[in-house]
Amino acid sequence: MLVLLFSQDSNFTKHTTLPDFPACFQLSVLPWAPCIFLWLTSPFYIFYLKRNNRGYIMMSILNRIKTVLGLILWIVCWTDLFSSFHEMSQNQLKPPVYFVTPLVLGMTMLLATFLIQFERLKGVQSSGVLFIFWTISVLCAIVPFRSKIMNASQAEVSLRFTMFYIYFGLILLQLILSCFNEKPPLFSSVVTDPNVCPETTAGFLSKMTFWWFTSMAIKGYKSPLENKDLWSLNKHDSSELVVPNLLNEWEVEKSKAQSEQSVKEQAAFRKAGPGAEPNHVSVSPEEEEVLLSKRKEARQPSFLRALLRAFGPYFLIGSAFKLLQDLITFVNPQLLRMLIDFTKQPQAPSWWGYSLAFLMFSASLLQTLILHQHFQYCFVTGMRLRSGIIGAIYRKSLVITNEAKRSSTVGEVVNLMSVDAQRFMDLTTFLNMLWSAPLQIVLALFFLWQNLGPSVLAGVAVMVLLIPFNAFIAMKTRSYQVEQMKYKDERIKLMNEILNGIKVLKLYAWETSFKQKILQIRQKELNVLRKTAYLSALSTMAWTSAPFLVALTTFAVFVTVDVNNVLDAEKAFVSLSLFNILRFPLNMLPQVISSIVQASVSLKRIQGFLSHDELDPESVDRRNNTSEYAVSVVNGKFSWAKQDQATSLVCALLGEMEKLEGQISIQGSVAYVPQQAWIQNATLRDNILFGRPYAEQKYRCVLEACALTPDLEVLPGGDQTEIGEKGINLSGGQRQRVSLARALYSEADVYLLDDPLSAVDAHVAKHIFDNVIGPEGALKGKTRILVTHGISFLPQVHNILVLVEGRVSEMGSYQDLLKQNGAFYLYFICIYCFHSDLLVDEEEEEFPDDALSNHTDMVDNEPVVNEARRQFMRQMSIMSNDPENPKKMSRRRRCSERRHPESPSEKKELKVEKLIQAETTETGRVKLKVYWEYAKAVGPLLSLFICVLYGCQSATSIGANVWLSEWTNDALLNRTQDRVHMRVGVYAALGISQGALILASCLLCRACSMLKAAHATHLHMLHAVLRAPQAFFEATPSGRILNRFSKDVDTIDSVIPENIDIWMRTFWYTVNVLIVCSALTPVFLIVIVPLMLLYWWVQRFYVATSRQLKRLESVSRSPIYSHFSETVTGTSVIRAYGRNTAFVLLSDMKVDENQKSYYPGIVSNRWLGVRIEFIGNCIVLFAALFAVIGKEKLSPGLVGLSVSYALQVTMSLNWMVRMTSDLESNIVAVERVKEYSETATEAPWIVKDKQPPPDWPPKGNVEFIDYSVRYREGLDLVLRNISLEIKGGEKIGIVGRTGAGKSSMTLCLFRLLEAADGEIVIDEVKISEIGLHDLRSKLTIIPQEPVLFSGTLRMNLDPFEKYSDEEVWKVLELSHLKKFVSNQPSKLELECSEGGENLSVGQRQLVCLARALLRKTRILVLDEATAAVDLETDDLIQSTIRTQFEDCTVFTIAHRLNTIMDYTRVLVLDKGKIAEFDTPTNLLAQKGIFYGMAKDAGLA
């Protein structure tokens, strides 16, 4: 009917200056269109509303008006119907349309009115369906409205006319009203939540254009966003709903798999049931195995199905939008064809041109809105997927068996969360391309075929050939990436070691050697990066030239195949715009497929983890009525891999082991202290409370009992001190005591203590046993099971259980077991008897707060110590001398300056002084200076040249297209044949030169200049960090420095060059479009200025907001993973205390916190996209409009050129803003690296005119003159006015209690601390005047903790390769390592692992001794190792030093006095001053501090 109408009336519609539609069309199709829409959508819509009820909305004035208007509309429509009946009764025959249309309209109005009320009851604040319905109604009513006005003069004004005007007014009113929102539903979160996301209350239009986000964009523009500015997460996106939803589906999936399995098993059993023949040997063992493996396969539940069921439906809405968008994409090339066609016809009415221009605009606008809705749905699905997967993995990790836990390391599981969940998230965005790309390709080819016929195949062939080329490049790039990652990991590992051992490097003056090592690795890394850059330049060239090559081959074939084929503007530019559409899906398909492959690997890994066995919650019976015992194990048999047996028993009681038979029951709650204390990254108080309410009195008692009170005085913030991850800033003993305090505070019924006393000093152990565990301790009356290797406490326990080879060998009280002469007697007593007698003596010293100041003579009232004991004493002093953690010396020194009691006010101030300053994050705009820094690193002239190259490349691409439009104009002048070859040749030349220029600019940009910058920035930073003073490393966590060396350097290496490259290309492209459009129609300039201002304005808002959102997102991401890895290490503790739910909630909270900043980040991209594309659509509109206006002047070729350029601009505008934003976020890396390149450095390594003679120091005399020193500016002095003279060859022992300044003395000799006052002179040379390397290389130190670096043993002894192999072997012999080394297959090339982990502590200490022997300088400093070394090694070291360094000056910081009793003199320091300085015998006679210390150690 329509076609008929149009063909009859085409003169009436198109070829007139006053177009109009025929009456039949106006009465039927136009009014029916909205009705059909509403009747088709409402069943689905009603079903959707029934499923998603949001609570109901009170009747408002707005709602009443809408309803009343709906009813009036119904009356109006039916008045029309009755008037038709009335006319019929008057014998005026009317066609049936006059009855059908009002009837349908009336019923539709009733449906609309019903929907208005139904939405109110279901809590819909703004209706999309009705908005679209009213819009279509108004649009369809405009045509009859206009024609009725035009024809009004001819006809008499009837009832029908009046009714129609009323109808038009009312639907217009309804449309306006439907733009407004209803109030939120009663009891919804909107009312209660202070920071609710405006999306929940936003109207339909606001949602479509993302207008609701504007408030945040403005806020972010005014001042940098902070966490408090973020909106709460929508309920539907929160872990609280998402995770259980996914887990339910997964449970369903698992139970399905199990039920299928059991059905199959029953079937198999029936087959081979009792009726089977006895000789069923027909199944060979191989076959049987195959059958079994098949059965195993069948059992795997599919996680993919669970994901699809949980997130599929929501995702499908996005897919529907994508389908619509794909179809609309092809409208514009058709409209372009009509527009070019229109410019060819001089007599065509201009209104037709205008309507084409506006149709193009509306098609583009619709496409924009729909595309961004699709993206929104996809991204939200991705976000939910990530929440769901992280939640599922977290919950699973709390319940998997230890067997399963060992099969994957913590790092791997954290990767499941970070990498694999992220992969799924990235995939969802492009998943729809899987069906959409083929669809777009098919449609584009279909239209191209219509346009150019079979010549299209030539172009398609080129495209297909480019695919393997790109695939090859992608594969090579990936392999290079792997290689680069390998070097990067090596470099970071070495850097990490350097930072951990930086003090030793400085003391040995080895920095240059290690700097070389890092730069070697870095060079390899840069070489790989260079190769990658070559490849990426090639692929960029292929990707940019592809559309051109395709067009070239297609057009060339088209004009040469047949003489009659003429390339006119319509064919050329419509084809070009279709080729441009093809470009995206062809490029995306390979990417999507590779993402899918990656995601499928991730899926397998996640599914594997989620299918692990879980602990049986019923294995331990916790019901309180089973037996009269608190803990009972009957017939227990448990399995687990290697483990200390006693510990295993505790684990079995906790239900951590697989129970094979028997039963366990525990009455009441449990508290558990593991062997390895598990400390959370929280304050000390939170670690002890562990989720229980704070009770001051009880808390104080617990601290007192666990001997933690003295520690609190030392910690910078008392019990509010933030404990680093894994308890890094506590010593081993402190960690164990915190763990014990947690158990004590929990007030459980049963206490399982797994060797908690092994990590603490003997006297602390005694204090804890007496006050907590023992018969008089805080836990008396509770059941306590103590695993211990010490024997001293056994006499005080009720019952002893001896485990031998996993069985209980005997059981009873201490006295009973001694009588039995069984395993207990043999093992323990014979070995430890001597020992224990001694231990008890030792422990009688009460817990010494401060052995020097409150020194009481405890030793006097004992009988004379016998010889045997004298020898043991040494061993004991090792054991009791703070074995907790020698590494913490420096921290203690820092704290010990304030050990003396001070007033509370002083204390408060001290809490504020934080050692580790928070990392500075730059906020606001990036300074131009940073870009200038980068340009300087590249080279200013080179930078300029690169910009010019990009410009030229753009110019050639304009040239090619202008040439094409000239070529198409030949068709009008009928001069086609004679010029074909020339036209094709020039077109090809221009296009190929564009490709060559792209290649050149990419190579220059990425391979040459950017790598130069990357090399320079890394070099400067490395140099500056190695030159930084020791204080810098104490105040800066190594993780932060490493982050600069890994993430920021990586950004400069690979991310920034890519950003700059894409930005340059899009920038020039956009400039081109504007130049072309303006050159063709100068009027365009008038429009460009406001559009560009708008563009600049929108992008400023976006960049400021999105940059800060990215920062917030990355800051909130790491807590998820660190909390998770912390949880995985502490699962047994969390389970024992029954804190699973709390931890799950905490994890969910961290995930939601992260999504809270991620979600606005997604929306900001949508918000920007809609606005930028709107600007692009305006450019399309004006290009088309001006083409219509200037129709007479412009040839069809130029019209095609300007409009097809404009159609492409949207994409490049969008990219340009994104890249600007990315570049701004990433260029910050340059700033951060620069910040570290400018750290204050220590004194120069070598001072040329002050270099000491090569044999300096000849004698080894050392003199301190009025010497004072402090750790950092603003702190107290550590040494005060020290003056002393030491002759060459003297042996000096330095003693004093913790914090007296012993170690500071040595650090001053090496100038790790610079003098605050006074001088040190060594052999007439003032050490402050010479270079640091000159000084440090002439002194030798054997440090307290032995630091080794990964590399060969030879490198560890002699990194500069100054000495021959013979010399190295000689020192190995002297340091008693020769036998060990020569037994190794690789001898001196023995690889030491990181930190020397593959050598024992003693061997490491001997390696340090060997280093000292190899250097053999006149001055040796010995920082005595406290507890790390066994007696043997210690003896070896002492004797070697006595013989080998006989003629050297030796300074020994003594922790055990017996090592220095035969020294020349002993220096006793107290509070940074010299308290005593004399020979050991004289000092003993003086009965001063030294005497007291000697007496404590049993030497006096």
Say how far apart CA 417 and CA 434 lie, in whole Å: 25
Out of 107-111, 141-145, 977-981, the most confident range is 107-111
Q: What is the mean pLDDT of residues 1419-1423?
A: 86
Which pLDDT belongs to residue 520? 93
pLDDT digits (tens, 9 = 90+) for 312-330: 989 999 999 999 999 998 9
Mean per-residue pLDDT over the chain, rounded: 80
CB 701 within 8 A of CB 778: yes
Which pLDDT belongs to residue 1106? 85
Q: Which tokens in the block code for residue 1119?
A: 């807590």
Lowest mean pLDDT among 465-474, 906-915, 1371-1380: 906-915
**Residue-by-residue DSSP string for 1459-1490:** GGTTSSEEEEEETTEEEEEE-HHHHHHHTSHH
Say how far apart CA 162 and CA 79 lie, in whole Å: 11
pLDDT tier, 1248 (very low <50, low <70, confident <90, very high otherwise): confident
pLDDT tier, 841 (very low <50, low <70, confident <90, very high otherwise): very low
pLDDT over 60 at 859, yes or no: no
pLDDT tier, 860 (very low <50, low <70, confident <90, very high otherwise): very low
For residue 1281, count CB atoms less than 10 angstroms from its CB and return exposed for 0-12, middle for 13-18, buried for 19 or more.
middle
Which pLDDT belongs to residue 1249? 84
Say how far apart CA 1284 and CA 1306 lie, in whole Å: 14
Say how far apart CA 199 and CA 943 lie, in whole Å: 44
Return the HEC string of 1384-1410: CCCHHHCEECHHHCCCCHHHHHHHHHH
pLDDT over 80 at 871, yes or no: no
Amino acid at 730: L
- DSSP H or E segment with residue 548: helix 511-561
E strand spans, 575-669: 620-621, 631-639, 658-666
CB count in 10 Å sphere of residue 709: 13
pLDDT tier, 242 (very low <50, low <70, confident <90, very high otherwise): very high
pLDDT tier, 404 (very low <50, low <70, confident <90, very high otherwise): confident
Say how far apart CA 1413 and CA 1342 lie, in whole Å: 10
pLDDT tier, 728 (very low <50, low <70, confident <90, very high otherwise): low
Which pLDDT belongs to residue 716? 72
pLDDT over 90 at 365, yes or no: yes
Amino acid at 902: E
Which pLDDT belongs to residue 876? 37
Out of 292-296, 507-511, 1227-1231, the most confident range is 507-511
For residue 258, give Cα distances in angstroms to 252, 396, 401, 613, 1487.
10, 19, 20, 14, 81
pLDDT tier, 888 (very low <50, low <70, confident <90, very high otherwise): very low
CB count in 10 Å sphere of residue 1100: 15
pLDDT tier, 640 (very low <50, low <70, confident <90, very high otherwise): low
Say how far apart CA 76 and CA 65 lie, in whole Å: 16
Between CA 668 and CA 675, with CA 671 as vertex, the angle to 5 degrees is 145
Which pLDDT belongs to residue 917? 55
pLDDT digits (tens, 9 = 90+) for 294-311: 444 556 888 999 999 999
Q: Which residue has the tokens 């109110």?
A: 120
pLDDT tier, 173 (very low <50, low <70, confident <90, very high otherwise): very high
Torsion of CA 571, 573, 578, 581, to 10 degrees: 180
pLDDT digits (tens, 9 = 90+) for 1007-1035: 888 888 899 999 999 999 998 888 788 77
Lowest mean pLDDT among 53-67, 765-779, 1032-1046: 1032-1046
pLDDT digits (tens, 9 = 90+) for 786-802: 887 667 778 888 888 88
Which pLDDT belongs to residue 847? 36
pLDDT: which is higher, 850 or 203: 203
Which pLDDT belongs to residue 13? 61
* Residue 1359 DSSP one-character state: T
pLDDT over 50 at 836, yes or no: no
Which pLDDT belongs to residue 6? 41
DSSP 3-state of 877: helix
pLDDT over 60 at 893, yes or no: no
pLDDT digits (tens, 9 = 90+) for 645-656: 666 777 788 877
pLDDT over 50 at 775, yes or no: yes
pLDDT: which is higher, 93 or 1465: 1465
CB count in 10 Å sphere of residue 1333: 17
Between CA 952 and CA 955, with CA 953 as vertex, the angle to 5 degrees is 60
pLDDT digits (tens, 9 = 90+) for 11-43: 556 667 777 778 788 888 888 999 999 999 999
Q: What is the mean pLDDT of residues 1316-1339?
A: 87
pTM of the predicted structure, to 2 decimals? 0.76
Say how far apart CA 563 and CA 151 lie, in whole Å: 53
pLDDT: which is higher, 1368 or 409: 1368
Which pLDDT belongs to residue 108? 93
Which pLDDT belongs to residue 34? 92
Which alpha helices (DSSP H) does 1048-1191 contain, by range?
A: 1049-1050, 1056-1080, 1084-1129, 1131-1136, 1140-1189
pLDDT over 60 at 864, yes or no: no
pLDDT tier, 210 (very low <50, low <70, confident <90, very high otherwise): very high
Which pLDDT belongs to residue 857? 33
Torsion sign (Cα): 124, 125, 127, 128? negative
Q: What is the mean pLDDT of residues 883-893?
A: 35
